[in-house]
Amino acid sequence: MVGTVDMLIFLLYFLVLILIGVASYKRIKGGVDYSLAGRSLGWTVTIGTLVATMIGSSAAMGAAGKAYEYGLGVMWLPIAIFLGYVFFSLFIAHKLRQTDVWTVPDVLEKRFGVGVRRLSAIVLILAVVSIFGAQLIAMGIVFRLLGEPMGISYQLSILIAGGILVLYTTMGGLYAVAFTDLLQFLIMLPVIGFVIPILVFHSGDVSMASITSQLEPRMFNIFTGVPLSMIVGLLFTYIPGVIVDQSIWQRAMSAKTTAIARWSPVISGAVYFYFSAVVVLLGMIGVMLYPNIIAEYGNADGILPLMIAHYLPKGLTGMGLTALFAVAMSTASTTVLIAAVTFAKDLMPTFTKEPLSSAEELRVSRIATVVIGLGGILFALTFSGIFEIMLIAYGIFVSGLFFPIMGALFWEKVTKKAVVASIIASAIVMIAFLFLDTDIDVVVPASVTSLIVLAAVSLATYRKEELTPPVLKADRLQQ
């Protein structure tokens, strides 16, 4: 049960978020401060915000729910994400710092013009708004399971949490997002990564021996415990998804030094991997502790909230509830900020026909934060199913833009016609597969189509004299 102390801890958390937003507001002088925190983030804040952003509700509640069904096979998710972090660190982060661009649409315009920039900005905004909505859904699940003593319904919890999130993000931009992420990281990692598993095992309800003896053998096989289509889908979605994740690019450009930008993602990826391993283990334990959870709640996403309610004493229950909210809030604040900054920096100038001034970019970013935030809240009140929503949203972005972005960064022969054809073909294939009754993850055929069309049309339309060099080509980088 949730006691008075637990509710006070939870309310104190929301108060601190608002105070961080107010303090950050005073540091915002223009668009760069709002979107890149004045390029001032050190090691601790950069690692904290990267881990908190990437964990999200999909890597916590959603992954625990999937581990309830598939066991260790869900570890393909953190494997894919860690590999994406390593690739970004080794081949992109330090070079991106030497360019005058940092957003995905910015990079595409550098090679292919304003039309591609506009198209990619729209795709990016739609994808991150749905991810934002998925995090709000997670907040609603927490309140549904633990917040009833406070008289707060699922819908009201989404409105309250979403409203506070939009408030502090609008006020403080990346300053507020980064420092609230750090706070959330310092809450979620100890509580979920250490305290909950220790208390569950200490209770005597489960042991490693009982886990190995009571669970089906397939739950322990990372290769055969899950459908091959799921493994392929996770790898195709999250390795490229992390590499072109706008939030990671933003952190690389907001870091104080190139060393921080380059190596923080690797460290963050390792921390994320540990956190995910703990969550997957808890999800597997949930099979023994809550055998009827799907019948009661419709899915297994509520395993972590139930464990918090059952195993944490008063006081720590409030911390556990706060940790689950922190998981969702960290990713949600980042996504709404990315969508707003993308609108102000990449979409708005294509209509005004000239770049916005720093003050104009700041004003448009704040207005867009409010509007997009409200759109995400509406999304959360309309849909459900965290893991699936995240996969579809990420899939739209990855299948349509990954290979065009890689071409813009590295390949000399890629052409504008090929990029446009690739994005359109990928979207058509993805929509078609969404309506087909197949086990194939839609992102796989959509991504393969994108690559084939991009390569074929580029080779057919390549004219050396008409093309600009790759964005990360050595002679284009600032020394």
Digit-coded pLDDT (tens) for 247-260:
899 999 999 999 99
Gap between the terminal Cα atoms of the chain: 59
Report which of 454, 474, 451 is spatially closest to residue 236, judged by C-alpha positions.
451
Identify the pLDDT of residue 380. Answer: 77
Identify the pLDDT of residue 462. Answer: 92
Instruction: Determine the Cα–Cα distance for residues 439 and 428; give it in Å rounded to an integer.
Output: 18
Identify the pLDDT of residue 289. Answer: 93
- Among 2-16, 205-219, 357-371, where is mean pLDDT lowest? 2-16
Digit-coded pLDDT (tens) for 316-359:
887 887 887 777 788 888 889 999 999 998 888 878 777 788 89
Is residue 303 predicted with pLDDT exceeding 70? yes
Instruction: Determine the Cα–Cα distance for residues 316 and 374; give it in Å rounded to an integer.
Output: 32
How far apart, in Å, are the Cα atoms of 328 and each of 126, 188, 205, 225, 335?
19, 10, 28, 28, 11
Q: What is the mean pLDDT of the chain?
A: 87
Identify the pLDDT of residue 41. Answer: 93
How far apart, in Å, are the Cα atoms of 332 and each of 289, 302, 328?
30, 19, 6
Identify the pLDDT of residue 70. Answer: 93
| pLDDT higher at 447 or 474 | 447
Digit-coded pLDDT (tens) for 28-45:
988 889 999 999 999 999
Domains of the chain: 4-386 (1.20.1730.10)
Instruction: Determine the Cα–Cα distance for residues 348 and 356; give it in Å rounded to an integer.
Output: 8
Identify the pLDDT of residue 265. Answer: 94
| pLDDT higher at 350 or 238 | 238
Identify the pLDDT of residue 170. Answer: 94
Identify the pLDDT of residue 162. Answer: 86
pLDDT more than 70, % of the chain: 93
Instruction: Determine the Cα–Cα distance for residues 198 and 191; give it in Å rounded to an integer.
Output: 10
Q: Which range among 142-151, 296-305, 315-324, 415-424 has the greatest average pLDDT?
A: 415-424
Q: Any idea what the Cα angle at residue 277 is, between residues 161 and 46, rounded to 5°?
A: 55
Identify the pLDDT of residue 268. Answer: 94
Digit-coded pLDDT (tens) for 387-405:
566 656 667 778 889 999 9
Instruction: Determine the Cα–Cα distance for residues 35 and 340; give it in Å rounded to an integer.
Output: 9
Confidence of residue 378 (pLDDT cuts 50, 70, 90): confident
Digit-coded pLDDT (tens) for 119-163:
888 888 878 877 787 777 777 766 665 556 666 777 887 888 888
Confidence of residue 478 (pLDDT cuts 50, 70, 90): low
